[in-house]
Chains A and B, each alone.
Chain A
Amino acid sequence: MPTPKYYTPTFKRIAWTYAYVIGVFVLMFALAGVLQGCDMNRVKPQTPGQAVVDAYGLLEKSAVLTTQLLQTDVITVQQAIEWRDKIIAAKTALDSAQLALNLGDTSTAIGRLQAAQVILNILAEYVASHQGAPPKPEPVPLLGPQATALADGKAPGTLAIINSVLDIVVEA
């Protein structure tokens, strides 16, 4: 079959350029769809107890990602140790938040949970500097009187707890 006359090298180059540009756009739209779908699948916590579960999940993901980054030599052993210490600090805060919830002390639980979320945000920034866009915890859902108390700064020890955990993180 004879080659058509318009099928010249110049034509092929232009055609490939168009195909490349269209391909990039299709890839970007596909990625946007995937990311939007994944984000929509995320269940947003509606109570402090559910926020604790969500935070545990993010913490586990942080530990798994840290292991993967270490195994692929993206981060050093020293960085991995530093991140692990922060994961343990957040885990301690979450364990204590869960304990406070079981005892019915919601204000203390929220304080511990917020402290864990501060550390989770720090971990997310670390991961972001090495791999993609990280997830961040949802703000702690507050109930009416607790929200008012926190806004007024009257919740017992909340800021002090966050500051003390941050001090531990900074020292670590």
Chain B
Amino acid sequence: MNANAIVALSNLLGGVIQIMMVDPFYRDILLSMQSEGRSKPSDEELAAIQARLSGALGQLDSAIDEKRGG
């Protein structure tokens, strides 16, 4: 097995594990909703969720701008 194959395999395994890992933030909210029998997230939870998504989109925008600039 050559070095390229090892790098490709480790990248693939890392990617699969990273994608499959459950984010504890969302897991905790879902578990809390299910244990408390709530059908909707609370206002605080929803605000936190939307802030995280907006943050991730902001980072994506920054990366796009950086690549365009570079």
Contacts and interface: CB of A to CB of B under 8 A. Distances in A.
Interface string B47-64: 001101100110111011
A105 interface: no
Interface stretch (A6-14, A34-42, A150-158, A164-172): A34-42
A47 B26 CA distance: 15
A54 B26 contact: yes
Given A43-B30, A81-B64, A53 B49 contact: yes
25 contacts: A35-B20, A38-B21, A39-B20, A41-B22, A42-B27, A43-B34, A47-B39, A50-B30, A50-B39, A54-B30, A57-B25, A60-B52, A60-B56, A61-B19, A63-B53, A63-B60, A66-B60, A67-B59, A70-B60, A70-B64, A70-B67, A88-B57, A98-B40, A132-B15, A133-B20
Nearest to A83: B60
Interface residues of B, number: 39
Contact of B64 (A42, A54, A84): A84
A56 B46 CA distance: 10
Main SS of the interface on chain B?
helix
Contact of B53 (A35, A43, A46, A59): A59
Interface of A: 31, 34-35, 38-39, 41-43, 45-50, 52-54, 56-57, 59-61, 63-67, 70-71, 77, 80-81, 84, 87-88, 91, 95, 98, 101-102, 127, 131-135
Nearest to A58: B26
Listed residue (A43, A48, A80, A91) with the most chain B CB atoms within 10 angstroms of its CB: A43
B33 to A, nearest CB: 6
